[in-house]
Amino acid sequence: MRNLLPRRIKRHRILAGPLRGRAMVTSWYHNFTSLTGRTEPDLIAWFQRNAEPGETWLDIGANYGYTAMVLADRVGPTGRVFAFEPKFETCGCLSETVHANRLEQITVVPFALGATETIEQRRFGVSGSMVVQAMAAPGATETIMVANLDWLWPRISSNSRKINGVKIDVQGMELEVLGGMVGLLATHTPKLVIELHAGVDRSALFDVLEYCGYERKCVPVFPAHGADESGSRDNMSYAFRKR
C-alpha cells in the first residue's frame, strides 16, 4: 500500500495528533504516519512527561522533523532543540519545515554524530530518507559529515552548554554516537531515550552508559510491552535513568 502513496515532496498539513495543523515538508510516501498524527505515540507521550519549558534537547536522528517539532512545543520559545539530521536532502526538508512553522527554538544541524577525533567525511549507505549504516554492502550511498559531539557542542551551543534531554534514533549506530558524547553525558546526565536496533551490543551499550552515570538497565517507553530492563527488543525506544 505504501508504494501507492504520492512521493512528491512538498508542504503538507498534519491532519491529526499533537501537531495537527502544523506544516511539514515531506511526502505521503515517506511520512504517512506523521501526516496522520500517528508517529510513535508512546515516545511522544514520554516527551510530554519529561520535556519541560525552557529546556535544551538534542534530537539525534531527526529525519523530517516530527519529533523535533513535538520537543519544540514542549520546551517553548525559551527552550532549544538541536535537530541532527545528516542526509542532506532530508535535512533540507527539515529546515523548510522549521521555517514554515516559525520554530526559532529549533537549530538544524546537518551532521551525523560519531566517535571521530573532531569532524570527518564518510560514505554511508542510505535507504529512502535515512542514513542506515557505514558502507558495508552495495547500494545507494552518500557522503556524510560526521562529528564528535563532545568536540562540536561547545562550538554550536552558544553561551549555554547545559543539555536537559537527548533522543537518539540512529539506525544501529547507537554505540558510535554515544562514544562521541561520553563527556557531555557524564557532565550533564540528561534525560535519555534511545531506540535500539538489531546488531547493537547491549552489554557494551550498558557499559558506556554506566560509565556516564546511568543505571545498568532501561525502561521501555511502550508500556504495553511491560518491563524489559535488558533493552533486548529491536526497534524499540528505551529510557535510561540516572544512578
What's the pLDDT at 2? 80
pLDDT in tens, 114-134: 999 999 998 888 776 667 665
* Domains of the chain, start order: 40-240 (3.40.50.150)
The low-confidence residues of the chain, meaning pLDDT below 50, are 135
H/E stretch holding 130: strand 130-134
What's the pLDDT at 182? 98
pLDDT in tens, 154-198: 999 998 999 999 999 998 999 999 999 999 999 999 999 999 999
Please give the model's pTM, rounded to 2 decimal places: 0.93
For the record, the C-alpha cell of 133 comes out as 549504516
The span from the CA of 22 to the CA of 35, in Å, is: 9
- Can you list the pairs that 98-104 forms with residues at least 24 positions away whose Cβ atoms lie under 8 Å? 98/65, 98/68, 100/11, 100/23, 100/25, 101/22, 101/23, 101/69, 103/69, 103/72, 104/77
Give the chain's length. 243
One-letter amino acid of 123: R
The span from the CA of 47 to the CA of 44, in Å, is: 5
